[in-house]
């Protein structure tokens, strides 16, 4: 609890003890009124002041005004205990609500802990702590074990293990070494690192994430906007209704029926009506539900830019995936080596050495598969033939590595291969040695993610890709997506998403999931854009509505489930609060409900709704 909450708790305890003591003391008349005014003012003076300020500023109709009128009215009718109790329990509810909001804010504040306080810059042989804003691009900073990485950059010296849980929600550490890119917000766990900065602090990953989370509350959902408008008209209506309840029935009894008007009884009913009608449960719990949902999602590595996107995500029934970098790793890997006589590792060795001077992704995949340091002294006479491949001499032996056109050009007889992927043929000393199969590999969780999405209520999954149809169809079959569109240019993907948007029911939403690098147009066009693995990607953070902080496809499932849970809680609170209030208002109007039932209808309902809203903070692991 903070200082303000502790002060309120003290006031509540003092007032509660005094009310309990007065209930046991047989005091009547003016002395009773004076004694009950002490706990009433202890617990309610601030509410009375706020109500008076609202009247002076011509902003009369709020919960402070309702509580002030109801409690002062009850005291004027001689119901001292009820009037004080209403104010006491209202303040208990306010304390509870304050604590709940504070807990939700602390949950988001844990994410804010990624903000670095300083950066270490080496000057004159010693480390100097400076404000991260003062570090220019290209500067060398030093990050010691236990410190946060303050600015995005590239490791120039050292190796370490990084804790990225504050960014991704995953506790598994990641290894980093010289030459690797590193993003701000990670915690250096082991070695000393020297990093050459590639961005200014204001443009770094941590700054963009914090800005995104801090501004998420500015984008309101339809449910929040409805509650705001509802409260604006609802409170004056119930005030005038209570006034009518206090005046009209007695007048009818007196003037038309000639009966005792029973003014005190009807005024008491009107005051009970006012307490019941206080809209605290709705006004507090609905924004709190969204706030807690966004906070819980952020701690799980899912950044939602606003409650409106949370609402849209919950209505998603169609999910469209980009293939490369989203369902697949986006990097070529050797999937198989097929040879005539020579051993697998020998073919890989000759192919990797022949390709050692090329920066092509296929060349890099061959070198990674070889797994050893390339000895360039063994290679000579390298010639790269555009669109065909590479020829070279390795250990004095002629080697050719490339596609079928290269084999035909060199007059080497080769075997046709019908496997899906990129086929790299290898000829050694003029004879065909075999071929190497290279493909973009599916992410380990891609198939599970598609299956879990269908369990979560997604009606159809679609895959868009620029790959040839044969490769696309195999990827679709392995992942289990329902439809696939292949050989698409970036502009074609936008067109295809627009076609899908036109065909679906307008009330059902379509989400597009991309890797955030070249998918910005499609992310913007879909009902909701989800950028996956978007650490450090400006395009993703700007264009997407939801940003997943790592490249695990299961995070898409988590995002959908968090949104659905959040919206279930919102609707539960709306139906529960309105239903109980309508029931109690009817009971109050006919004289069945008293002040104690009114206290439950106001404070009790608010406490239950807030407790329910807090559930949105907790995210289950898949």
Helices (H) and strands (E) in the chain, counts: 21, 22
Work out the average pLDDT over 301-320: 89
Q: What is the pLDDT of residues 133-149, one digit of tens each?
A: 888 898 899 998 888 88
Chain length of the chain: 622
First to last CA, the chain: 33
* Model pLDDT, residue 219: 60
pLDDT confidence tier of residue 335, bands split at 50, 70 and 90: confident
Q: What is the pLDDT of residues 222-242, one digit of tens each?
A: 666 666 676 677 778 877 888
Rounded Cα gap, residues 368 and 366, in angstroms? 5
pLDDT > 90: percent of the chain: 17
pTM: 0.71
Class for the domain spanning 329-442: alpha beta
The yes-or-no verdict on residue 111 having pLDDT over 60 is no
Rounded Cα gap, residues 170 and 163, in angstroms? 9
Between the alpha carbon of residue 468 and those of residues 327, 447, 471, 472, 586, the distances in Å are: 16, 21, 6, 6, 67
Active-site annotation holder among 322, 440, 527, 602: 322
Domain ranges of the chain: 119-150+152-198, 329-442
Place of tokens 């002629």: 398
Q: Report which of residues 264 and 231 the model is more confident about.
A: 264
Rounded Cα gap, residues 129 and 179, in angstroms? 24
Residue environment code for 201-215, b if the CB has 16+ CB neighbours within 10 A, otherwise e: beebbbbbbbebbee
Q: How many CA atoms lie within 13 A of 194 on its CB side?
A: 9
Give the 3-state secondary structure of 354-381.
Answer: HCCCCCCHHHHHHHHHHCCCCCHHHEEE
Q: Is 322 a catalytic residue?
A: yes
Q: How many CA atoms lie within 13 A of 562 on its CB side?
A: 32
CATH dotted code for 119-150+152-198? 2.70.150.10
Work out the average pLDDT over 469-495: 86
What is the chain's mean pLDDT, rounded? 82
pLDDT confidence tier of residue 399, bands split at 50, 70 and 90: very high
């Amino acid at each position: 609890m903070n200082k303000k909450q502790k002060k309120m708790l003290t006031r509540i305890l003092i007032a509660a003890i005094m009310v309990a003591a007065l209930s046991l003391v047989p005091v009547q008349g003016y002395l009773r009124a004076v004694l009950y005014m002490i706990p009433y003012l202890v617990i309610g003076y601030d509410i009375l002041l706020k109500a008076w300020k609202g009247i002076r500023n011509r902003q009369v109709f709020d919960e402070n005004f309702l509580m002030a009128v109801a409690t002062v009215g009850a005291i004027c009718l001689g119901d001292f205990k009820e009037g004080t109790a209403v104010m006491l329990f209202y303040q208990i509810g306010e304390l509870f609500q304050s604590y709940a909001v504070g807990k939700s804010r602390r949950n988001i504040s844990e994410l804010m802990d990624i903000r670095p306080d300083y950066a270490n810059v080496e000057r004159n042989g010693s480390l100097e702590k400076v404000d991260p804003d003062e570090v220019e691009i290209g500067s060398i900073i030093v990050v010691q074990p236990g410190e946060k990485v303050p600015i995005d950059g590239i490791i120039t010296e050292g190796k370490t293990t990084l804790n990225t849980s504050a960014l991704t929600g995953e506790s598994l550490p990641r290894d980093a070494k010289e030459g690797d890119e590193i993003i701000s917000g990670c915690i250096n766990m082991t070695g000393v690192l020297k990093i050459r900065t590639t961005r200014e602090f204001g443009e770094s990953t941590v700054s963009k994430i914090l800005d995104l989370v801090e501004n998420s509350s500015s984008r309101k959902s339809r449910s929040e906007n409805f509650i705001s408008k509802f409260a604006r008209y609802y409170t004056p209506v119930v005030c005038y209704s209570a006034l009518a309840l206090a005046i009209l029935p007695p007048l009818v009894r007196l003037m038309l029926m000639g009966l005792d008007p029973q003014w005190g009884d009807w005024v008491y009913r009107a005051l009970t009506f006012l307490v019941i009608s206080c809209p605290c449960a709705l006004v507090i719990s609905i924004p709190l539900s969204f706030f807690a949902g966004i906070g819980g999602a952020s701690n799980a590595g899912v950044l939602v830019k606003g409650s409106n996107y949370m609402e849209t995500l919950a209505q998603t029934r169609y999910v469209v995936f980009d293939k490369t970098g989203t369902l697949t790793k986006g990097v070529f890997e050797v999937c198989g080596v097929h040879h005539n006589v020579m051993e697998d590792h020998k073919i890989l060795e000759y192919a990797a050495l022949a390709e050692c001077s090329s920066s092509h992704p296929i060349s890099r995949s061959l070198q990674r598969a070889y797994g050893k340091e390339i000895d360039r002294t063994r290679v000579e006479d390298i010639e790269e033939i555009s669109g065909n491949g590479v020829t070279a001499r390795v250990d004095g032996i002629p080697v050719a590595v490339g596609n079928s056109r290269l084999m035909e050009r060199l007059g080497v007889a080769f075997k046709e291969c019908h496997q899906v992927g990129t086929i790299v043929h290898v000829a050694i000393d003029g004879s065909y040695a075999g071929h190497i199969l290279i493909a973009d590999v599916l992410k380990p969780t891609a198939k599970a993610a598609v299956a879990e999405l269908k369990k979560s209520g997604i009606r159809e999954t679609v895959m868009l890709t620029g790959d040839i149809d044969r490769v696309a169809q195999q990827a679709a079959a392995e992942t289990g997506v329902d439809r696939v569109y292949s050989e698409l240019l970036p502009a074609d993907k936008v067109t295809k998403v627009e076609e899908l948007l036109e065909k679906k029911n307008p009330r059902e939403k379509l989400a597009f999931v991309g890797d955030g690098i070249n998918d910005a147009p499609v992310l913007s066009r879909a009902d909701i854009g989800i950028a996956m693995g978007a650490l450090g990607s400006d395009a993703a953070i700007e264009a997407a509505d939801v940003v997943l902080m790592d490249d695990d496809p299961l995070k898409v499932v988590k995002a959908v489930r968090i949104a659905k849970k959040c919206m279930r809680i919102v609707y539960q609170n709306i139906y529960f609060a309105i239903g109980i209030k309508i029931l109690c208002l009817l009971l109050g109007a006919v004289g069945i409900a008293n002040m104690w039932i009114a206290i439950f209808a106001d404070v009790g309902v608010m406490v239950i709704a807030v407790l329910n809203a807090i559930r949105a903070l907790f995210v289950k692991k898949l």
